[in-house]
Each structure stands twice: as C-alpha cells, then as structure tokens.
Amino acid sequence: MPALHRGRRGTGAFVALIALTLLGACTDTETVFRDRDFNPPPDAESGFLGYYSVEAGQTTCGNCHVDHQADWSTHAHSDAWATLQASGHAQSYCEGCHTVSELGSKVDSAAGYNKVKDPAYQDVQCESCHGPGEAHVTAPDAVAPPLARVNADTSSNSGTCAECHNGTHHPFVEQWEQSRHAEANAEVVDEAITTPATYASCLACHEGRGALKAWGVTDNFVERDDALSHSNALGITCAVCHDPHGSGNPGQLRYSITDPTLEGNLCMKCHARRFEPQLTSSRGPHAPQGPVFLGTGGWFPPGVDTTPQTSTHGDPTANPRLCAGCHVAQFTVTDSATGNFQLQSVGHLFRPIPCLDPQGNPVGGNACGYTALERSWASCTGSGCHTDAAAVVQAFDANRAILATLADQIWIDSDNDGTVDATDQGLLAQVVAGAPTNQFSTTDGVITVAEGALYNVRMLGEGRYANGDKSMGVHNPFLSQKLLAVSIQALHTQYPFLPAPPAAVRAVVQQALAKAASAGHATVSLR
C-alpha cells in the first residue's frame, strides 16, 4: 500500500490508488492511474469529502474523474456559493442547496455544510448528487461507487434534483411533475415488456432510461440496469434533458434548443416521428410537431411546392429558442390584489398557454377554456410579437375557426371509430362511397390522394387523431391552413364525382392559399 501523505487541509489524509477499470464502472468518464491525496472530511460522520482544494476549485472526486471535473467547472453548480452571496438576498436556509449537504443525495439527516460550515463544502459538487465519497476513495475496489439517481419527485428525503430545484422561486420539479414528461407512457411500457422486439424502440421517447440509451448516454446511475416494469418506469426526468455533468449548451441541456434541425434540436429528438404518410401503413402521424413547426411535415399533393414553409414561430431569427421559446417560457406571477410576488413560473409544465388556478398560478392539465382569463398568455405577450392577451386570443380563435372549416370539409369521424367509412361526413366519406376501388389500401404501394388528405386532417384537424400536431395550427398557421386547403383541392381534382364545395368553404380555401402565397410559398389554386 502506498505510504500515507499529508493533505493540504491537515493531517491524516489518505492516498487512494484509483484504477481505470474500477472507476469505469461509475461512468465512462476519463480516469487516470494516479496516486491522489484526499483530505479527511470536515463532517467526519457523513463522509462527505467536498473540495480537495478550495482555492483551485478542485473537487476530491475530480482528482481522478478529470473530464467530469472539467465539465462541471464550467457550469452553474460550480459557483453556486458565489452566486448566492452575490444575489443580495442570501439567507441561511438557502445554503444547503448551494453547498454539499444532505440535500440531493440519499442522506436523511443534516450533513455536510448544514452540519459543519466548512468552505470545502461550498458549491454544488459531485457528492451533492452522488452522495458521500469517502468510502469509495478509501477502498474503490471494495465499495460500490456512489451513484446518483435520475428519478425525480418532491417527496420528503427523495435524494433527487427535487430537493433543491423546487419552491416558489424555482419550481422546476413541481411543475415538471404536473407535465406529461413526468409520466412514462403506460401503454408503451406494457408493449415493451411483453413484445420487446417490436416495441423496445418506443422507449427512446416514452421512458427515461430508454431515452438516455437512445442518445448514447452510458453513464451509470442507480436505476440504469433495473429490469423495466410498470412500477419503476421513468418519465422524461431532469437528467434526460439536462446533463448533470455539464455540456456546451445553456442550462446543461444535452442538445441545443436553438438548432433548427430535426437531428440537432433537443425537443425535436422526440417530437418529430411520423410526419408523412407511409406506403405500407394506415397509421396516422405520431409526434409530428417539429416538422410542422419547421414547415416540412405533412402530405403535399402533386404540383404543390414542397419548399419548407415556416412561420414566425419557427423562424430562428424571430424566435431563437424555437420550441422552448413558447413551451419553456418563464414569467412572474403576482397577487392581483396586492401586486406582491407569488410565483416565478419556470415553464416546466411545457404548456405555452397553461391553465390558471383561482390564484392565477399556472397549473398542469388542459381542461380550461381558451380565454384571456382562464389561461396565461405570457409566453406570447412576453415575446415581443403580440401586444396583449386579448389580441392573441382573437388571432388564435380566428385561426382555429379556419382550420375547423377546412378539416370538417375533409372528414368528420361521425361514429368516432378512427376509420373513414361511408357513415362519416366530409369528402373522404364520399370517396369511400363513390370510388370504384379501395382508396385506403396499404398493399397497393402508392399514397392515394384520399390517403394523403386523411393524413393531413389527422395531423392538423382538431380532435381527429390522438397523435397529431395538436397545436390547433399555432405551430405553423400558414402550413396548417395550406395543407388542408390543397388537400381539398386535390380531392376534387382526383375524384370528379365529389360535389363542389359550398361558397363559404371555397372562400376559406382561397383565403388559406392566398395566405400561404403571401408568406412566400407558391401553391396551386382550387378549381
């Protein structure tokens, strides 16, 4: 065993010989063969080591996990203490979340800085999430490495991100828990358990561990190797979108939110699945939001310009944060009577216009009306594009009405069975009744006009399909109106037996085509 060394903070420091193969079980971080000192923990009972060198900002863990140390030193956790002191409102109760303490790791009593006010514990270091490291550095070949959790909840002593990223000033986890991201899709989990060969790939967007695996994240964590079950399935937790060790993106995001490509944008990694019809499947769209947003999703009839048709919402110049510009918008809620601060909403409901509770706080769910009083429109009015909530609601209602007129002309699923049949209403039902051959076949190797129109109305028509765009045209009003309008035009051209549209519908179609053309995108005209 190597001789004992004196650490820079006092006597009795030890040396740990850390082998690459041993630490490789922790993460795929770069580790080095090296004799390293570590200092006795200031809080001896807890085993939290904290900084090896306070002045250099060198964590004890970082002596061997050198690349994680380098990444961590560039993000906000590494100067959390200085940030608190510079805030102008530092309070003693804030200190536990700006230091190494029991908060964030599975330690159920005061520890670290909350017990011993030593500078070695200042800042949010590795052990804040991984837990005490003394046992591991003392005998790395005998003690399992301390692993962090990627689960997140607001329960007492949860040992997760939730213990600090909560409260009225930063309710990240409270809002996340009310969002759809917090839920692993039960149907997908069931299918992945019973038929893994067919449905395992669905976990890449519908379960936390599946997403991390799909994105090539090989770091170890507590839940990583658990056999998937309904009881342990994870939602899209904090660590799925945010890299706890740091990244080159703001907020430690794993991918950019300003990249206007399906491959490079964080949100579009999942919200860009089935966005055009398939030759061998009658299935409709599935999470097509990204391509709709960027103006490329949907079915374009022959003769229609397929040049991407973007809107202001999808323009990186006008809306640099793209999806997050509306879906992760922060705003302050004040008491309407007193004007006093009430809540700093951090946008982790992921709803651009969330419903409000009686106190005016944004809440999860989508059961409220689309009115200026029932929802917050702060993501719209705070963007600089819209003047006030009333004007936004007016534009929203107008666009929604146009899309409803167009979608109803194409297909109304009267019997709510999800399938076009002669008992339904709209042009597609008349195609079923009047066409000499089946226009909805998955074995003929072609996308018929009827199939293309069905795809578009499922993607863009409100309430037509569970996995459509579901933005009521807001993601891209020009594209949404245009695709439905040209679908109507193509149906009349392909199936001459269809009756001419009513004058009111014809006027809406022509208006939609004119809007698309005025937005710099040529279209065809309705005959």
Task: Give pLDDT tens digits for 238-257.
Answer: 999 999 999 989 999 999 99
pLDDT in tens, 34-79: 555 789 999 999 999 999 999 999 999 999 999 999 999 999 999 9
pTM above 0.75, yes or no: yes
Closest of 178, 153, 179 to residue 165, by C-alpha: 153
| Residue 184: HSE in the Cβ half-sphere, 13 Å Cα cutoff | 26
pLDDT in tens, 197-241: 989 899 999 999 999 999 999 999 999 999 999 999 999 999 999
Average pLDDT, the chain: 90
pLDDT in tens, 12-21: 344 444 343 3
Torsions phi, psi for 34 (to 5 deg): -165, 140
| Residue 153: HSE in the Cβ half-sphere, 13 Å Cα cutoff | 9
Residue 10, pLDDT score: 40
Count the neighbouring beta carbons within 10 Å of the beta carbon of residue 350. Answer: 21
Residue 527, pLDDT score: 33
Helix axes 449-460, 427-434, angle to 10 degrees: 150
Residue 515, pLDDT score: 87
Residue 380, pLDDT score: 94
Contact 428, 453 (CB under 8 A): yes
Name residues of the chain where pLDDT drops below 50: 1-28, 33, 521-527
